[in-house]
Structure 1
Amino acid sequence: MKSLYLILTIGLTFVASAQNKISGTVTDKDQKPLANVIVSIPEIHKETITNDGGNYTLSNLPVGNFKISFSLVGFERKTVSVTISTQEITQNITLEESITHMDEVIVSTAFNKIQSQNVMKVEHQNIKALQQKGAATLVEGLATIPGVSQVSTGTSIGKPVIRGLSGNRVLVYTQGVRLENQQFGEEHGLGLNDAGVESVEVIKGPASLLYGSDALGGVLYFNPEKFANAGDFKADFGQRVFSNTLGSNTTLGLKTSGEHWKFLARGSYNSHADYQIADGDRVTNTRFNETDIKAGIGYNNSVFSSVLRYNFNQLNLGIPEEGIAEQSTSRDILYPRQGVDNHILSLHNTFYFKNSKLDADLGYIFNDRSEFEDSNVAILHMELSTFNYDVKYYLPKFGKIETIVGIQGMNQTNKNFGDELLIPNAKTNDFGIFGTANYEWGKNVIQAGLRFDNRNITTENHGIIGEEGYFEGIERSFDSFNASLGYKTDLAKDLTMRLNIASGFRAPNLAELTSNGVHEGSNRYEIGNANLKNEQNVQTDLNLEYKSSHFELFANGFYNHINDYIFISPNGNVIDGNNVYDYVQANARLYGGEAGIHFHPHPLDWLHLYSSFETVIGEKRSRSFGRDYLPLIPANKWNNTFRGEFEIKNWWKEGFATLNIESIFDQNNTGAFETKTNDYTLVNLSLGGKILLGKTNFNLNLNANNVFDKTYVSHLSRLKADGIPNMGRNIVLGINFMI
């Protein structure tokens, strides 16, 4: 923590040497001023909107080279590069009309380009749009993104899956720092609440170049909500209710900003009873209660910018072991249950020099996880403390070449306090160093990078040799070199191609290295393997995109080869009535992709048709185990949405109505411990918009998910083994007021 305070102290000693500012006017092609255009410089957290005359001003800016973004619904986003070296710059902009999706700035990749300039295809989704689909939890909303699914245990526990890979193979970033919350466990969910989250970016493929170990399968990068614009004070209140779980989600947020300082705070409470299946029964102890608090403070002047954020999440959830038993609408959690407290503290600093800048991200995550079997005395109690750092230096631009060099690291300690142990007391230390460059000419962009990582794991001895729960102390070191190469070009007008090849790695986690006992969720006696090697993969991605005024098409294909894929295999022994499984390794491959269209017919400008298809096949191969399918591979999915947009006089603005038909195919390619899953189709409806009643205005959202109360079982549901269906019909009503 001394490093955190040192950087903050150094940063706050800088004094603004000049009141640099940019101002100008934004107009359309007929030179008519455009109001409410969002003008932003994302890398320094500066944003404003144009007034009725199309005028804007951004003040108190640092010296250097920056990209300014201009965006307005119905117009193409425009990004311009400016060099701030004098106290005042005038930048006038003309925006062209467009009815395609707005081009977003991508934060999760190295150079923060807008998507049309980015070498890597990244899925960007606004959290508000996911909430409009009626999702009860954040992970449920993520599962509506092509290529993303979830492994679920009821409604409270959801683990994201990207193209067939999950758990420690998918890295999660929030508030600019990597999330560490014992995510290896089958019943350990994401532990994030969607309140106070602006958007999510999904990297589908190895991202070890930027993020190190555990980004072998992809990255979920959550962007927190923005601060208010300078001089503004905003307050909002939101309420969502869910018919199926009799659930409630309440949130209240406040934020204000001056020229230098900015503040925000948000609190939310989420409570759900047991979920109901189509025949009216409730699945016992799938209830949960969640409290979430977020706060942020920011400061910037002409040479320095700093943002400090804090998130506390408390989750009290039931573990469904009895299936459909006691019928109740109570929210009092039964045994067995989990109690999880998660603290995330992050500090993002940027130091601006004349032609370069330095980013320094520091994070501290404390995860306190307890499991209660039949009393308030925790039988399992783990505390995970993680300090991580990420320092990047953006070198002065050399011609058309942009270059970044950086170091990243993590220091992590796991401690046990309960009678039962899933993993031993342990310390993990990561260190990585990398460099990447971006070269753009004409309509072409090429990007390449190289990285080296080291992870050191040390565990303590525990228990009695030869008995369940004995952990032999180990000390292992894992090294990996990784590289990436990407190319983007415009093959023709409106037609873009991206081709990427990248390697990634994952060091074995503590459970895989050290397990020695019964896994309660699956009734397996699992034995770790201290000799496991890194998982190492190479993935090739091809993306084609066509965008015109009334038609969009995308096609993504990938092939992912993984050396030394880690999995469990029975060894033929039985201990206390439980089959014994060893952690072993074999090579594996996954391949498939996503394709879709967006049709916007003219002159029916109010109508949109979206259709997408996604598929993935996962196989493992070895001389010892032969050829077999990987577990937890999502079934093929075809998703169709009809969306109408409308306005009703002066009281219903930005209105929309959607019909969604989600078709899930049979899953017959099953892993060793899985059963096949039948196909099913779900129909979902939604209606919403901004309602204006006098001086009162609010956003309204009404959803009916699984309209026909279909009985179905998802292939990735952990309750599938007990024959328990997923959720039946669910009506969701959401209202959000600006106070």
Structure 2
Amino acid sequence: MLLFSLRTYTYLPLRIFLLTIFFWLLLVAGLQAQIITVVDKTTEQPVALVNLISPDGKITATTNAKGKADISEFKAVNEINFSLVGYRTLTLAYAAVAQMNFTVALTPSSYSLNEVVVSASKFNEKREEVPQQIQVINARELKFMSQATTADVLAQTGNILVQKSQLGGGSPIIRGFEANKVLLVVDGVRMNNAIYRAGHLQNVITLDNAVLDRAEVVFGPGSVVYGSDALGGVMHFYTRNPILATTEKSKNIQVNAFSRYATAANEKTIHVDVNLGFRKIGFLSSFTYTNFSDLRQGKRRNKFNEANGLRTFYVQRVNNQDSIFRNANPNQLRPSGYRQYDILQKIKYQPSENISHLLNIQYSTTTDIPRFDRLTLLRNGKPRFAEWYYGPQKRLLTAYTLDKKGAGAFYDNSRLTAAYQHIAESRMDRDLNNVFRNNRLEAVDIYSFNWDFEKDTGKNEFRYGVEGNHNTVQSSAFKYNVNTSETSPLDTRYPDGGSTMSSVAAYITHAYEASPKFILHDGLRYSQVKLTANFKDKTFFPFPFDDVTQQNGALNGNLGLTFLPGKEWRLAGLVSSGFRAPNVDDLSKVFESVPGTVIVPNPNLKPEYTYNAELTLTKGFNQRVRVEGTGYYTWYRQAITTQPGAFNNETQINYNNQLSRVLTNVNAQKAYVYGFSGNLVADISAAVSLTSSLNYTFGRIQTDSTDYPLDHIPPVFGRTAVNLKLNKFQGEFFAQYNGAKALRHYNLLGEDNFAFATPTGMPAWYTLNLRTAYQVHKYIQLQAALENILDKHYRVFASTISAPGRNFSLTVRGSF
């Protein structure tokens, strides 16, 4: 008994000590932060910037780059509201969150009431308050699309038609405007340069969609904010930025990679990007490689045009002789394949919350890209060309951006961007059985700066800035003997003495919130553009001038009103103007537009202008369905169009060994474009959503007699999709469709490529498509898609290469 008491006495202090430690651990655990993780329901990937708020709005939190947030303070409240643009709002009790092991999954939403856009004014604005029609493609949508090029991404929107002349191409058309009449911008730097042509461009493919954070498309004139070229609209692409760590001692390391294979062009793509973020400095590195083989077109043809698009032959050089071979598979478009490399490097330094520095380096290059349509042309029953290809298309961008925040007398936010771009393009062609290859090379250097400011004074918001651009163009050419390697002189595409194009501009925009229902928008911009071209060697073309100098000024403005009467109604009206100064390509190019015609310089070209009026009506239903319609009418004045002309009083000249009709660019007196765009977005249930779009455009050049078709005007087109979003899974079944374009609506002298149409024009077409994504593991996602399920043969309007046939693609993604 005594022994038992002694033992009890001996162990009692130990027990008290252990109990004390236990209670202290409980207390510390109670005081420790309770961390929640918010993920995407379909991908299980962390979602950043989710807003957590209590019912009374007094307690808030925001998820970090890893989707995590501290919700310790929410224990005392009944509910937590989770919200983020692009996701369904979710309200949960704290106890329910605990039962989920503090992991909450948000469902992506097709309907978003508070989406923020940047491109309308260069600073953040609520989309519903902006009078312009704007379409946003976010990072989640870009990832799910899994498209090979950015041109293909735009074609998937249902509101932009994309023309192609070769597999390595893609020329977006917005409201009947294309090429140098729409503006491309990347990370605040305009891509349009002095040699952007009026025909069809492929420069958009130099943007790597695998590293895009979002893309915004502003429909209609955007010259007040962006200056020259923004007649039909602006496409602004934003690449991802480095993500910094949240504390001094932590690091933010993220790795994303994917590999994709697609059957139609035997496409093989690999991509990897690495983010390394510290508290004040971060690095983002990205690399993408794509290999395209020859494209296979659809084999199910319109019974009235069964031979259309068949590739029955191809040319190869064997033993120093051009040989014509029969194509064993006429649906295999030989040659059309190429390879592309894209590199991005960003460095972000943020010494404080109010200042950040960003260095942005982008480089894109390709191998030779066959100009497929030219390789199909015949002369005297035989192929006209043995070779026709674009040389490597290179784009280098180096930009520095300074962002500064802080309430000052004249601004709250400012952004300075200084950039340098180098563009290299070349064209090589050789006639059948001709040993001389024509080589024409262009190099463009662009220096630019933008300094933009934002000031909020309550009901008034001012955004203003200055901009400068300077382009230098060097053009060279030579003939190359493929047998002996000898070279000889050749006429250049642009003036051989060099050309320059410079612009300076200042703008101001203003938004006045008269009440929560009425928001007035207005803006002005003045631009001054100067162009100089020097014609040094006149051996091939004895031009009656040695140089051309032009200086043009333009004043642009807009006035808009947004009316939000409530009950999810929205009415927006806008009148705006746009302008485009003639560039080096318009003014001084010698170019074979189509075989048998040649465009010669016109030093008397003047700027072209548009005056636009549009009205948008939007109606929402229970924050689940949105129906929107936009009607517009554009007066097009001094439109630069191609018309018959003369060179030294001759209407025909010899060019590229062929007697060719002389054409020249002129300012047509008047033209007009009008149209309608309709969009439907509906979240039918928590898992099913519906989207649909339809676009109609009509354009004419006004003449003294009968109005003549304006080129670049697409037929009616659109897209309808049904989406399914489940745990770990997302699926989409969609149809894309185009109406017919009758031959009588073609512009026979412009860029509609009527020679590649059928005898009745471009037939109507539609495709059925399916894509899916499944999160097989926290870090691994598998995507599979089947495009053009019915394997239909079709061509997009004005395209001179057929669209892909049935295309199965498989993508494996990893995020770590």
How high is the TM-score relative to the length of structure 2? 0.75
Distance 1:680 1:24 in 2: 42
Q: For the structure 1 residues 99 and 34, does the alpha-carbon distance in structure 2 shift closer, same or farther, using more than 3 Å as the test?
A: farther
Cα offset for 1:635?
1.2
Secondary structure of the residue that 1:373 maps to in structure 2?
strand
For 2:516, the equivalent position in structure 1 comes to 442
Secondary structure of the residue that 2:128 maps to in structure 1?
helix
Cα offset for 1:338?
1.8
1:358 paired to 2:414: yes
For 1:620, the equivalent position in structure 2 comes to 701
Cα offset for 1:373?
3.1
Cα offset for 1:127?
4.8
1:173 paired to 2:181: no
Q: Deviations over 1:136-169 (max 9, x none)?
A: 3211110222431112113211111111101111
For 2:653, the equivalent position in structure 1 comes to 575
Q: Alignment partner for residue 477 of structure 1, among 551, 563, 567?
A: 551
**Structure 1 unaligned regions, length at least 5:** 1-22, 40-46, 57-68, 78-95, 326-332, 648-652, 720-724
Distance 1:242 1:128 in 2: 21
Q: Alignment partner for residue 252 of structure 2, among 199, 215, 232?
A: 232
1:107 paired to 2:118: yes
Q: Alignment partner for residue 298 of structure 1, among 326, 336, 348?
A: 348
The code of the aligned residue for 2:672 comes to R
For 1:183, the equivalent position in structure 2 comes to 196
8 Å Cα contact 2:241/2:346 also seen in 1: no
8 Å Cα contact 1:448/1:483 also seen in 2: yes
Q: Deviations over 1:634-658 (max 9, x none)?
A: 11014221222222xxxxx1x1222
For 2:676, the equivalent position in structure 1 comes to 593
Distance 1:318 1:342 in 2: 18
Q: For the structure 1 residues 240 and 709, does the alpha-carbon distance in structure 2 shift closer, same or farther, using more than 3 Å as the test?
A: same
Q: Alignment partner for residue 382 of structure 1, among 442, 466, 475?
A: 442
Q: Alignment partner for residue 229 of structure 2, among 195, 199, 214?
A: 214
Q: Alignment partner for residue 530 of structure 1, among 584, 589, 603?
A: 603
Matches for 1:365-514 after TM superposition, within 5 Å:
365-373=421-429, 379-395=439-455, 397-419=456-478, 420-424=491-495, 425-440=498-513, 441-464=515-538, 467=541, 472-514=546-588
The code of the aligned residue for 1:137 comes to T
Distance 1:118 1:187 in 2: 30
Secondary structure of the residue that 1:210 maps to in structure 2?
helix
8 Å Cα contact 1:319/1:338 also seen in 2: no
For 1:265, the equivalent position in structure 2 comes to 285
1:735 paired to 2:799: no
8 Å Cα contact 1:662/1:681 also seen in 2: yes
Cα offset for 1:27?
3.5
Q: For the structure 1 residues 469 and 252, does the alpha-carbon distance in structure 2 shift closer, same or farther, using more than 3 Å as the test?
A: farther
Cα offset for 1:470?
8.6
1:607 paired to 2:688: yes
Count of residues in Structure 1 that have an aligned counterpart in Structure 2: 654
8 Å Cα contact 2:163/2:200 also seen in 1: no
For 1:7, the equivalent position in structure 2 comes to none
Distance 1:33 1:635 in 2: 53
For 2:154, the equivalent position in structure 1 comes to 142
1:564 paired to 2:574: no
The code of the aligned residue for 2:358 comes to V
**Structure 2 unaligned regions, length at least 5:** 1-48, 75-82, 92-105, 246-250, 300-328, 379-385, 479-490
8 Å Cα contact 1:683/1:708 also seen in 2: yes
8 Å Cα contact 1:282/1:324 also seen in 2: no
For 1:202, the equivalent position in structure 2 comes to 217
Distance 1:128 1:98 in 2: 9
For 2:366, the equivalent position in structure 1 comes to 315
Q: For the structure 1 residues 38 and 205, does the alpha-carbon distance in structure 2 shift closer, same or farther, using more than 3 Å as the test?
A: farther
For 2:786, the equivalent position in structure 1 comes to 704
Distance 1:554 1:593 in 2: 11
For 1:12, the equivalent position in structure 2 comes to none
For 2:263, the equivalent position in structure 1 comes to 243
Distance 1:555 1:357 in 2: 34
How high is the TM-score relative to the length of structure 1? 0.83
For 1:3, the equivalent position in structure 2 comes to none
The code of the aligned residue for 2:88 comes to G
8 Å Cα contact 1:359/1:392 also seen in 2: yes
Distance 1:183 1:253 in 2: 31
Cα offset for 1:599?
3.0
Q: Deviations over 1:414-467 (max 9, x none)?
A: 012323422222011101011111112212211111111000001112322772
For 1:688, the equivalent position in structure 2 comes to 773
Q: For the structure 1 residues 31 and 187, does the alpha-carbon distance in structure 2 shift closer, same or farther, using more than 3 Å as the test?
A: closer
8 Å Cα contact 1:468/1:517 also seen in 2: no
8 Å Cα contact 1:471/1:516 also seen in 2: no
Q: For the structure 1 residues 165 and 55, does the alpha-carbon distance in structure 2 shift closer, same or farther, using more than 3 Å as the test?
A: farther
For 1:285, the equivalent position in structure 2 comes to 335
Secondary structure of the residue that 2:585 maps to in structure 1?
helix
Distance 1:309 1:207 in 2: 25
For 1:20, the equivalent position in structure 2 comes to none
For 2:624, the equivalent position in structure 1 comes to 550
Q: For the structure 1 residues 471 and 132, does the alpha-carbon distance in structure 2 shift closer, same or farther, using more than 3 Å as the test?
A: farther
- Return the index of the structure with the highest Cα Rg: 2
The code of the aligned residue for 1:418 comes to A
For 2:295, the equivalent position in structure 1 comes to 275
Q: RMSD over aligned Cα, in angstroms?
A: 3.0
Distance 2:158 2:262 in 1: 25
Secondary structure of the residue that 2:536 maps to in structure 1?
coil
Distance 1:324 1:691 in 2: 49
Distance 1:524 1:291 in 2: 35
Which one has a larger percent helix, Structure 1 or Structure 2? 2
The code of the aligned residue for 2:291 comes to S
Q: For the structure 1 residues 213 and 273, does the alpha-carbon distance in structure 2 shift closer, same or farther, using more than 3 Å as the test?
A: same
Q: For the structure 1 residues 614 and 28, does the alpha-carbon distance in structure 2 shift closer, same or farther, using more than 3 Å as the test?
A: farther
